[in-house]
Amino acid sequence: MMRRVWTDDHIDADYPVHGARFRSMRALPQPVGHLPIWIGGHAGVAIDRAIRVGDGWHGAFLTPDETRTRVATLRSARPESDFTISMRTRWDPLVDDRDEIVAELEQYLDIGVDHFVAEPSQRTLDGYLQSVEALAELFRCAGVEMAT
């Protein structure tokens, strides 16, 4: 539905499972180009949904071992390079061992994770920014390219 509303001028759609009915629905402004849709979740239904309708999968707080089987399933069904595998982590170099962070990062990269979302434990703006900057430095030292 979102892809349709982002590209068509008006849509009519019925989604009886959810009890939703849309008439002349539209979204303005419509995005220029394609917006990727990442499907999150760890359960089999979420993995299946990512394979079926997603442009990527976003896992959260899984260990590399827990991630490995999910990525194998995703990549076997969606091998294309523009299908993103993303992971949310709790890495915080202000409190966690930096060598352990780098070791885990390397495991995720070997598995095929190509995007990371950091959620450090810092709860002040200054602490959060310091943690993210320290993570960026760890990534640079590990040779990981980063989007800005």
Predicted confidence at residue 78, as pLDDT, reads: 97
Q: CA torsion sign, 147 to 65 to 92 to 37?
A: positive
Q: How far is residue 56's CA from residue 41's CA, in Å, rounded to a whole number?
A: 11
Band (71; pLDDT cuts 50, 70, 90): very high
Half-sphere exposure of 139 (CA within 13 A, CB side): 20
Structure tokens at 89: 């982590």
Q: Could you read off the pLDDT of 33-68 as tens digits, one per residue?
A: 889 999 999 999 999 999 999 999 999 999 999 999
In the chain, domain spans: 1-35, 36-141
- The CATH classification number of 36-141 equals 3.20.20.70
Residue type, 92: D
Pull the structure tokens for residue 93: 């170099």
Q: C-alpha dihedral over 76, 78, 79, 83, to 10 degrees?
A: -140
Q: Assign 69 a pLDDT band (cuts: 50, 70, 90).
A: very high
pLDDT at 148: 62
pTM for this one? 0.85
Task: Tokens for 50, please give them.
Answer: 């990512």
Torsion of Cα atoms, 101 then 142 then 144 then 69, to 10°:
-50
Q: To the nearest whole number, what is the mean pLDDT of the chain? A: 93
pLDDT for the residue 14: 86
